[in-house]
Structure 1
Amino acid sequence: MKKAVFCITQTNDQVERIVSELKAAGFSNNDISVLLPDKTSEREAGHEKHTKSPEGTAIGGTIGIGTGAVLGWLAGIGTLAIPGLGPFVAAGPIMAALGGAGVGAAAGGLAGALVGLGIPEYEAKRYESRIQGGNALISVHTETPEARSKVEDIFERENAEDISSTGEAQPKRYSSSGRSEPRHY
């Protein structure tokens, strides 16, 4: 059964390093998702564009050439507008899920769309706020505990924040420093 591991990054450089490490560790481009605000976009809101550019050049000018190239390796890269929130760059399965749901967002915002992807509501609301604040969300779908552990190690090594995973009775949660914190229910 597939489970996902999520994190928040503060910079595009972190996104680039993490995606590069995940690729080097053998993770499929179909299992990695990235969602970040398109801060430099002057396109009109309300449209969706799927580029799936092999080199990420169409997106590269928006978020930085290096990151655009790294994201270009992922499946389904493109931009989408979330009503009331603005333009975002998305890559991987999250692009299809958000775009296909009409971002379910008119009613539920980005948090509603993230809940639809299997993220618990309390995590989705925190992620929504962090993404709106300019951070990026990275998600990796895994099938084994070993793969989940490998993803978590990569996230920790690159100082990602708010690391968590879905589908576990007691999901791990890490502080901004990467240290494990107990989960209180």
Structure 2
Amino acid sequence: MKTITGLFDDYTDASSAVSALEATGVPSNDISIISNNADDHYSDRQSGAATGAESGAGLGAVVGGAGGLLTGLGIMAIPGVGPVVAAGWLAATAVGAVAGAVAGGAAGGLIGALTGSGVSEADANLYAEGVRRGGSLVTAKVDDALAPEAEAILKRSNWVDPAERRAAYNQDGWTRFDDTLDPYGPEQIEQERDRYRRPPAA
């Protein structure tokens, strides 16, 4: 098994990638999505969803729901990132690592869950920062033979090039994710998205 991961500036692109992975035959149980929810966009759709670190049990319960991964989104909070909607094994692992942990442990849970599944520490920090800045993270565990196709699906779904984004963050003095910083608010996230938005094709 290999872990493939993609960061997306837009939730729509991330959800399209999840659907494409499922359509290719990747089981919902092997896919995870974590998406910034600073604008509270998903609260109306997720009435009764648990919030905070205690939501781990709820996330674990919705992994691989009958209607596909995206029908099981739950709401949680990650220090330094803020509110997110999430579903799948990575979210459940990250939250599980936080249960009973000291404040600030959730980021370690997310980064630890990523690195524990084979993502480099440098990329794990980049992905956590990307979600902090309004992005969405899709992660899938796939058979080695399917990995090239799964990665191609993420790229076709308008994923963020990790090297380019790291270079852009580094130009601003960023070195690694810091869960003690304040989460981005909706206005900051919109400015960040504008910074990377591709101009429409002529």
Q: Same fold (TM over 0.5)?
A: yes
Shift of 1:120: 1.8
TM-score by length of 2: 0.62
Over the matched positions of the two proteins, sequence identity in percent amounts to 27
CA RMSD of aligned residues (A): 3.0
If each structure's strand is expressed as a fraction of its own residues, which one has the higher value? Answer: 1
Letter matched to residue 23 of structure 1 = E
Structure 1 residues 158 and 16, CA gap change in structure 2 (3 angstroms) = same
If each structure's helix is expressed as a fraction of its own residues, which one has the higher value? Answer: 2
Counterparts in 2 of 1:69-148, with a 5 A limit? 71-72=70-71, 77-102=73-98, 106-108=103-105, 110=107, 113-118=110-115, 119-144=119-144, 146-148=145-147
TM-score by length of 1: 0.67
Where in structure 1 are there 5+ consecutive unaligned residues? Answer: 57-68, 164-173, 177-185
- Misfit runs of 4+, over 3 Å: 40-47, 53-56, 103-109
Contact 1:105 1:113 in 2 (8 A): no
Q: C-alpha deviations, 1:115-154, integer Å up to 9, x for none?
A: 333222211111111110000011010121x311011110
- Cα distance in 1 for partners of 2:153, 2:139 equals 12
Structure 1 residues 17 and 85, CA gap change in structure 2 (3 angstroms) = closer
Structure 1 residues 79 and 44, CA gap change in structure 2 (3 angstroms) = closer
Shift of 1:101: 0.8
Counterparts in 2 of 1:25-64, with a 5 A limit? 25-41=24-40, 45=52, 47-48=54-55, 50=58, 52=62
Shift of 1:85: 3.4
Where in structure 2 are there 5+ consecutive unaligned residues? Answer: 44-49, 166-202
* SS of equivalent residue, structure 1 residue 35: strand
**Count of paired positions:** 149
Structure 1 residues 108 and 22, CA gap change in structure 2 (3 angstroms) = same
